A = this chain, B = another copy of it.
Amino acid sequence: MDEKDLKILRLVQNDARLTADAISLDVGLSAPAVQKRLKKLRETGVIEREIAVLSQGKLGRDMTIIVEVILERESRAHLDAFKRKMRQAACVQQCYYTTGEADFMLILTVKDIQEYERFTEENFFDESNISRFKTSVVMDRVKASLDVL
């Protein structure tokens, strides 16, 4: 992992379709050398995966909601059950288990507020283990980068 690897990573984390040839010009290596480094970065897990980012708006899911959840009981079994539920729920994009007031922080994308209401009924009200939850509607997605470097 030298400076050239970092440069390659900065490029592909913004555009995974760049050809090795294009990268080689920026980095100052031959195209095969770049490919070799990319292969190693994938194998070692530095590059976890390569994905297509879809437009939420064009797919009719342009509403983003943030939810703080506080559980009633924080036993291991209850925590795991809640985590499992969030992983399965399609509209949950991100779920964090946190310190502080809330136990969990969720970021969801939905078509409209009705879809969110349905989500809460299926995931918060049926199960009595939710103490309370606080909903915030996102007015502006100011920044949504995935850049690590």
Contact = CB atoms under 8 A, between A and B. Distances in A.
B54 A93 contact: no
A77 interface: no
A55 B50 contact: no
Taken together, the copies of this chain in the complex come to 2
Interface string A60-92: 010010100000000000000001001100101
7 contacts: A15-B49, A17-B50, A45-B55, A46-B55, A54-B149, A92-B143, A99-B139
B12 A52 contact: yes
Given A66-B105, A83-B142, A86-B143, A100 B135 contact: yes
A146 interface: yes
Contact of A9 (B14, B52, B95, B149): B52
Among A12, A47, A98, A137, residue most surrounded by chain B Cβ atoms (within 10 Å): A98
Contact of A148 (B45, B47, B59): B59
A138 interface: yes
Contact of A137 (B15, B53, B98): B98
A96 B58 contact: no
A118 interface: no
A51 B53 contact: yes
